[in-house]
Structure 1
Amino acid sequence: MNTSTIKKIDFTVAIPTYNGAERLPKVLELLLNQKEIENLSWEIIIIDNNSSDNTNEVIQYYQKTCTQKFLLRYFLEKKQGITFARMRAISEARGEFIAFVDDDNLPAPDWVFQSYTFGKNHPQAGAWSGQIHGDFEVSPPEDFTRIQAFLAIREHGSQEYQFDADNLRLPPGAALVVRKQAWCDSVPKELVFNGRLSKLMVGGDDTEALLYIHKAGWEIWYNPAMHIAHQIPHWRLERDYLLVLARGCGLCIFQLRLINAKNWQKPIILVKTILGNLHRILQHIIKYRGKFKSNLIAIFEISFYFASMMSPFYSLRWKLDRILKNPIVEND
């Protein structure tokens, strides 16, 4: 296909999904009923990440019945992992701005309008995100707000501000909007983290791409006018899932901190990662001594600190695995 003939549009909503046949209709209905977008040229694209259910049939139904003035397109991405799905979305999207909406995200009626308007008003913004509210199937545990960011729930008040990328304080990939130019010019074609595929559920895929966008000089913003709900099923609040999540979020920390680091800073980051988290662990043990069995949030936090402390060793193991899978062959 001659890419020069593809008509570019204002806004793309990209929905990566895996076995989302039951979840997608609710998301699509909310997108089909967006307000204040009469003068906006936009599209929805579904990136099916190798589903085994009838996701394709659900999309075919909406393609036949949709009468809106935008396209609903479907693509099958067989490489498993959210990173591959998002990369496919970037390559297929025609919009100047690309919004990643997960199949369990429920956008407010003006979410598209607020997302697009913010991008137009902030030309130096490479990525931006808004408020993500929890839509819980069951009540979360006591003090859950301390760890809610790990489940992509972000409620940071009513004032705009730039995220602190240097300290890894960044929005999640869910409900994130990126400027296509910023992504294409900044993010490598291959990333380290491809999604929570293994039993370790190692994260980092959201943050890695944003760090490259930040490294290239783009701003990353919080826009409080964008509201979206994140559906949290009961099993995502259970102890076993939360502790695996804590470990997966911690194991990527060292590798992420290296992305924007100069060579002379890397030994310092190594020491700070190990000793800083060791200090946090000791503080937590003292503070919650005798209470770990009953305090799920404290257990989550100390599990995250321990995994963060071990993240340099995980990074080394990852590099060795890559070398063994792709050995360098020297010419004679």
Structure 2
Amino acid sequence: MVDFSVVICTYNGASRLPQVLERLRSQLYTQTFSWEVLIVDNNSQDDTARLVQQYQADWLPAVPLRYVFEPRQGLAYARRLAVQTVVSPLIGFLDDDTWPEDTWVSAAYQFAQQHPQVGAFGSAIRGSYEVLPPPNFQRIACCLAVIQRGAEPFQYSAERGVLPAGAGMVIRRRAWVDCVPEQPSLTGVCGSSLDAKGEDVETLSYLRSGGWPIWHNPHMQLFHRIPKARLERGYLLTLFQRIGYSRYPLRMVRYAAWQRPLMVGLHGANDLRKVILHILHTRQLTDLETTEACERMLLYSSLLSPLYHWQSQIGQGLSWVPLQARLRAKLRSRLGSGLLQRLCS
């Protein structure tokens, strides 16, 4: 039996995996328990498989390094294969661009032993930026898996929407098997596409609905490498749009079917309120700086999230772009084109 499995889900990660594997090779204080590393290759087209074979030839004798291939594109599918593959009671997920400190594995294992009732817990994550991020970036950094939430462990409140990042998340396998369905609503990042962001929140929402507490463990430290391209305005706006669009299925996880029509209306009213408050707070309708523009995009796409998902479920032949255009035209006739342009910019 293995006590702890470190899982790295990767897509075309041949250039990124060495940094993560070298950090795992030098982990400290792991002599009192057994652990392994599993690479889940999510349909890579580069030399990921060959790279893993090279590391397997010269890896730690007491720590198995295993490899599996998942042809279905999407992080949610890669993680489900990992859960099916490992037999250890604890699974720690790393991304191929997150670098664990040399005590990350031991800190994760010890926390799980001290808190046996916890279903999942997340890491503290520092950003390693290729270039300087935009002004006030700390307000939105958590959406890029940069998590700094104090020096003491705590349980995430069920009343707030805050949850750990998927990178650096440790899940008790029994909690996953009991609560997480085989088919995800959101498939997660597919290659370079951000269309189905939110799979981590979906998973944690299932655990929370199943009665498993979720915690933050600041003693598990990671560094997240963020390249220049992910700090550009265009990428950030697309990222926050996709996060907003994912809000509807994530919110509905916690409600019974009969409750959902009412809750859609309540969430929609609250989203509209937040859009108006953001406009009043910034005192600007256009020419927002990058951080504020990302916040506005998140609120706007959260408001439209039910429509985005309904059109994909009801009519696969419908395109979201024409539907969005029709919605804008309808609103323009009610509000006036100038006001609508400012609200959506």
- In the superposition, the TM-score normalised over structure 2's length comes to 0.88
Cα distance per residue 1:216-245 (max 9 Å; x no partner) = 111111111110011100110101100001
CA–CA distance in 2 between the matches of 1:321 and 1:184? 32
CA–CA distance in 2 between the matches of 1:103 and 1:44? 13
Give the Å deviation of 1:173. Answer: 1.1
Aligned to 2:213: 219
CA–CA distance in 2 between the matches of 1:65 and 1:321? 52
Cα distance per residue 1:231-279 (max 9 Å; x no partner) = 1001101011000011100011121111111345423321222221212
Matched, 1:178 2:171: yes
Any conservation in 1 of the 2:23–2:100 contact (CA below 8 Å)?
yes
Assess, with a 3 A threshold, how the Cα gap between structure 1 residues 200 and 29 changes in structure 2: closer, same or farther. Answer: closer
Assess, with a 3 A threshold, how the Cα gap between structure 1 residues 33 and 68 changes in structure 2: closer, same or farther. Answer: farther
Cα distance per residue 1:116-136 (max 9 Å; x no partner) = 011111111110112011111
Match of 2:68 among 62, 66, 75: 75
Cα distance per residue 1:271-325 (max 9 Å; x no partner) = 222221212212222333447425111110010000000011123123325799x
Give structure 2 stretches of 5+ with no counterpart.
319-345
CA–CA distance in 2 between the matches of 1:166 and 1:261? 14
CA–CA distance in 1 between the matches of 2:281 and 2:149? 27
CA–CA distance in 2 between the matches of 1:295 and 1:57? 44
Give the Å deviation of 1:92. Answer: 0.8
Give the Å deviation of 1:170. Answer: 1.0
CA–CA distance in 1 between the matches of 2:55 and 2:45? 19
Match of 2:277 among 277, 280, 283: 283
Give the Å deviation of 1:204. Answer: 1.6
Any conservation in 1 of the 2:52–2:67 contact (CA below 8 Å)?
yes
Aligned to 2:329: none
Aligned to 2:2: 9
The amino acid of 2:46's aligned partner reads: D
Aligned to 2:325: none
Give the Å deviation of 1:162. Answer: 1.0
Q: CA RMSD in A?
A: 1.8
CA–CA distance in 2 between the matches of 1:48 and 1:271? 41
Cα distance per residue 1:54-88 (max 9 Å; x no partner) = 01111011100113311000111100000010001
Assess, with a 3 A threshold, how the Cα gap between structure 1 residues 323 and 180 changes in structure 2: closer, same or farther. Answer: farther
Any conservation in 1 of the 2:122–2:215 contact (CA below 8 Å)?
yes
Any conservation in 2 of the 1:43–1:72 contact (CA below 8 Å)?
yes
Give structure 1 stretches of 5+ with no counterpart.
1-7, 325-332
Any conservation in 2 of the 1:11–1:94 contact (CA below 8 Å)?
no
The amino acid of 2:197's aligned partner reads: G
Aligned to 1:330: none
Aligned to 1:202: 196
Matched, 1:252 2:246: yes
Aligned to 2:89: 96
The amino acid of 2:139's aligned partner reads: R
Any conservation in 2 of the 1:273–1:308 contact (CA below 8 Å)?
no
Assess, with a 3 A threshold, how the Cα gap between structure 1 residues 291 and 144 changes in structure 2: closer, same or farther. Answer: farther
CA–CA distance in 1 between the matches of 2:78 and 2:292? 34
Matched, 1:39 2:32: yes
CA–CA distance in 2 between the matches of 1:111 and 1:191? 28
CA–CA distance in 2 between the matches of 1:310 and 1:165? 24
Matches of residues 101-180 of structure 1 in structure 2 within 5 Å? Answer: 101-180=94-173
The amino acid of 2:165's aligned partner reads: P
CA–CA distance in 2 between the matches of 1:311 and 1:167? 19
The amino acid of 1:262's aligned partner reads: A
The amino acid of 2:124's aligned partner reads: Q
Aligned to 2:332: none
CA–CA distance in 1 between the matches of 2:177 and 2:300? 35
CA–CA distance in 2 between the matches of 1:28 and 1:302? 38
Report the number of matched residues. 317
Aligned to 1:54: 47
- In the superposition, the TM-score normalised over structure 1's length comes to 0.91
Question: Percent sequence identity over matched residues?
Answer: 38
Aligned to 2:326: none
The amino acid of 1:279's aligned partner reads: R
CA–CA distance in 1 between the matches of 2:225 and 2:65? 23
Any conservation in 1 of the 2:279–2:285 contact (CA below 8 Å)?
no
Assess, with a 3 A threshold, how the Cα gap between structure 1 residues 69 and 254 changes in structure 2: closer, same or farther. Answer: same
Any conservation in 2 of the 1:33–1:109 contact (CA below 8 Å)?
yes
Assess, with a 3 A threshold, how the Cα gap between structure 1 residues 37 and 301 changes in structure 2: closer, same or farther. Answer: same
Q: Describe the SS at the equivalent of 1:145.
A: helix
